[in-house]
Structure 1
Amino acid sequence: MSESQQTRAQQLIGDFAPKLVELTDGVLFGDIWEREELSPRERSLVTVASLITSGSTEQLRGHLSKARTNGLTETELKEAIIHLAFYAGWPKAMSAIKVAKEVFGED
C-alpha cells in the first residue's frame, strides 16, 4: 500500500503501533464517527472543543481541517475558541487560536 493510500494513523504510527492504528481506523473513525445519532458537523464541534479544553493542540490541526470539511465555518470555529477561553482557560484558547490561524491560512 502506498503512503497516499494509507490512513493518517497508518502514516504516523503504523509500523510502530499497529494495534493503535487498528483501533483508530476501525473503532474511532470506522464506528464512532459513523454513528447517526450525531452529524459529522456536530461530532467535529464536540471533538474540537474537547481537544481545546484538554490542550491537545497537536491533534487539533487535523480536526480543524476535518471540521471545515464537515461544514463548520472558520467564523464558527474561531467563535468556539473564544467561547472556550472562559471555560478551558486563556492559555489553551491562545494556543488553539494560533493553530487555527495556521490551518485557516493553509486553506
Structure 2
Amino acid sequence: MSKPIPQSAQRDRVRKTVPALVAYTEGVVYSDLWERTDLSKRDRSLVTVAALVATYRPEQLRTHIGRALDNGVTQEEIAGLITHLAFYAGWPAAMSGAQALTEVLEQRGA
C-alpha cells in the first residue's frame, strides 16, 4: 500500500499548466524517491534542505523545512545546517535560508 502524497497548494496551483511535471513530482519524487529505504526520511530531509539552501530555492525550501520538521529534524539542527552552509554556499544563500526557517516557524507558532 502506497503512502499518501503530501498536499501542496503550490503544486495544485500549477497542475493545469504543467500536469506532467506535477505527475512526475507525485509519482516519482514522492511515491518512489522519498519512500526508498537507503536513507531515512529524516536524513533525506536534511540533504534536501541543504541542497535547497545552497542553490537558493526559497519557495521549495519553505515546504521542505516544514517537511524536515515533520520528519524529526529539529529547529536547532536546521539552524545549524544553515549556519554551516554560510561558509560553503555563501552568506546570501544562508541568510535567505534563515528567513525561510523563520517564516515556517512563525507560521507554525513556534
**If the length of structure 1 is used for normalisation, what is the TM-score?**
0.91
Shift of 1:10: 4.2
Residue 52 (structure 1) aligns with:
53
Q: Could you tell me which residue of structure 2 aligns to residue 24 of structure 1? A: 25
Q: C-alpha distance in 2, partners of 1:21/1:33? A: 15
Aligned partner of 1:90 in structure 2 is 91
- Bigger fraction of residues in helix: 1
Alpha-carbon offset, residue 34 of structure 1: 0.3
Q: Where does residue 3 of structure 2 map in the other structure?
A: none
Structure 1 residue aligned with 2:14: 13
Structure 1 range deviating more: 6-15 or 55-64: 6-15
1:38 is matched with 39
1:12 Cα offset (Å): 2.5
**Which whole-Å CA distance do the structure 2 matches of 1:29 and 1:82 have between them?**
28
Kindly state the Cα deviation for residue 35 of structure 1 after the two structures are TM-superposed: 0.1
Show structure 1 runs of 4+ deviating over 3 A: none
CA RMSD of aligned residues (A): 1.6
**What code does the residue aligned with 1:86 have?**
F
CA contact (8 A) 1:7 1:25 kept: no
Whole-Å separation in 1 of the counterparts to 2:88 and 2:28: 30
Which runs of 5 or more structure 2 residues have no equivalent in the other structure? 1-5
Contact 1:61–1:99 (8 Å) recurs in 2: yes
How many pairs align?
A: 103
- Show the counterpart of 1:3: none
| Identical pairs, percent | 45
**2:72 pairs with 1:71:** yes
Tell me the distance in 2 between the aligned counterparts of 1:27 and 1:79.
30
- Give the gaps of 5 or more residues in structure 1: 1-5
Separation in structure 1 between the aligned mates of residue 47 and residue 13 of structure 2, nearest angstrom:
23
